[in-house]
């Protein structure tokens, strides 16, 4: 092949990968700083900020809130998204394309505009600073991905496989449990993992909806980074990045990362 083994290109690519991954990886060494202010490389090393993190009430509260919200959002995304994806994948009806476009359209809207729009409606519905409000808002971010992944799963599972089981005398429930479910399981796991991650990491819409009494972890980190100069945010970031990477591996092993989030 032409140009595959050229060293200048390889070195350039390595440098560009350092640029791409540098800001994510640098939080790891900084998290082991014992300094009281942000300097790199740190003047003293230790695990002081990992300890401080657990005693920072607002941060631990926000972590638990995010965990709860992401779990509920994941469950509801699957409950709402999978049946819808099933219909859109299996039925040809008028308005099908319109519905599909409607369900995936929130991806096209800038998040900052979506956040403001949701704020304007939720303020009237008394949903600001509540679990309900944040969950509903996160669903609009997660369900487009669930629907896209599950439509692919249902389309690649041909209807005749289910028909065959039915012909051989299986009840609809048995067909679903023994045939449909196992075959779409990778899509199911990927949808769940991606929903959890998107909700857990969501920051812009949450900034509009959270208040002093209820904040999520990314919002709390954002506020901390904006107002404090000590390296505790690095320790929290390491926890966040490790969790993200674990979920990324789950998605990669099930439907493949590129398929799940590629546009």
Partner 1 sequence: MMENQKQRKISGGRRQIFTALLLPMVLISFVAFVLPVARLIQMSFEESDVSGMLTGNYTSGNYPAFFTDGFNLDLITNSLVMSIVVTVTTLVFSFPVALYLFRISPAWRNILFVITISPLLVSSVVRTYGWMIILGQSGLINNALIYSGVIVEPLRMVNNFLGVIIGLVEIMMPYMILSLIAGFGRLSAVYEEAAASLGASAFTRFWRIILPLALPGIALGCLLCFVLSVSSFITPKLLGGGRVYVLATEIYDQAIIQLQWPKAATISVVVLIIFAIALFAYSWALRALDRRFS
Touching partner 1, residues 5-44 (CB under 8 A): 9-10, 12-13, 16-17, 19-27, 30, 37-41
Regarding 263 and contact with partner 1 (CB under 8 A), the answer is yes
Return d(Cα 58, Cα 253) in angstroms, integer: 35
Regarding 203 and contact with partner 1 (CB under 8 A), the answer is yes
Query: Which region, judged by CB under 8 A, interacts with partner 1, from 55-63, 152-160, 172-180, 216-224?
Result: 216-224
Regarding 255 and contact with partner 1 (CB under 8 A), the answer is no
Query: Which region, judged by CB under 8 A, interacts with partner 1, from 55-63, 154-162, 180-188, 196-204?
Result: 196-204
Regarding 137 and contact with partner 1 (CB under 8 A), the answer is yes
Nearer to partner 1, 87 or 183 (CB): 87
Residue 147, SS3 per DSSP = helix
Query: Phi and psi (nearest 5°) for 64?
Result: -65, -40
How is residue 91 written in tokens? 């039925």
Q: Using CA of residue 14, residue 18, residue 20, residue 25, what is the dihedral sign?
A: positive
Nearer to partner 1, 40 or 131 (CB): 40
Query: Which region, judged by CB under 8 A, interacts with partner 1, from 44-52, 140-148, 163-171, 176-184?
Result: 140-148
Query: Phi and psi (nearest 5°) for 261?
Result: -115, -5
Regarding 105 and contact with partner 1 (CB under 8 A), the answer is yes
Kindly state the smallest distance separating residue 30's Cβ from partner 1, in Å. Answer: 5
Q: Which of 73, 179, 240, 255 binds partner 1 (CB under 8 A)?
A: 240
Regarding 169 and contact with partner 1 (CB under 8 A), the answer is no
Terminus-to-terminus CA distance in the chain, angstroms? Answer: 29
Number of H helices, E strands in the chain: 14, 0
Report helix angle 57-90 to 131-156, nearest 10: 40
Touching partner 1, residues 147-166 (CB under 8 A): 147
Return d(Cα 81, Cα 191) in angstroms, integer: 9
Touching partner 1, residues 75-104 (CB under 8 A): 79-81, 83-84, 86-87, 91, 93, 99, 102-103
Helix (H) or strand (E) holding 195: helix 181-201
Kindly state the smallest distance separating residue 123's Cβ from partner 1, in Å. Answer: 9
Contact 52, 232 (CB under 8 A): yes
Regarding 116 and contact with partner 1 (CB under 8 A), the answer is yes
Return d(Cα 258, Cα 263) in angstroms, integer: 9
């Amino acid at each position: 092949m032409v140009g595959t083994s050229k060293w200048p290109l390889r070195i350039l690519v390595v440098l560009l990968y350092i640029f791409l991954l540098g800001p994510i990886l640098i939080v790891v060494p900084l998290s082991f700083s014992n300094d009281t202010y942000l300097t790199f490389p740190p003047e003293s090393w230790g695990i002081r900020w990992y300890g401080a993190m657990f005693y920072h009430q607002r941060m631990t509260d926000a972590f638990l809130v995010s965990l709860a919200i992401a779990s509920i959002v994941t469950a509801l995304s699957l409950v709402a998204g999978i049946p819808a994806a099933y219909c859109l994948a299996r039925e040809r009806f008028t308005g099908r394309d319109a519905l599909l476009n409607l369900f995936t359209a929130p991806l096209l809207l800038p998040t900052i505009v979506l956040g403001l729009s949701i704020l304007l409606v939720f303020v009237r519905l008394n949903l600001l600073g509540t679990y309900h409000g944040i969950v509903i808002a996160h669903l609009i971010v997660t369900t487009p991905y669930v629907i896209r992944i599950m439509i692919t799963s249902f389309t690649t599972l041909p209807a005749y496989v289910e028909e065959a089981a039915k012909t051989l005398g299986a009840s609809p429930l048995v067909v679903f449990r023994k045939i449909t479910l196992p075959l779409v399981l990778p899509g199911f796991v990927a949808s769940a993992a991606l929903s959890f991650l998107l909700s857990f990491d969501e920051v812009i819409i949450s900034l509009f909806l959270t208040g002093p009494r209820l904040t999520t972890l990314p919002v709390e980190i954002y506020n901390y980074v904006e107002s404090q100069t000590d390296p505790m945010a690095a320790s929290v970031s390491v926890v966040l990045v490790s969790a993200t990477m674990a979920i990324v591996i789950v998605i990669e092993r099930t439907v493949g990362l590129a398929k799940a989030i590629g546009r």
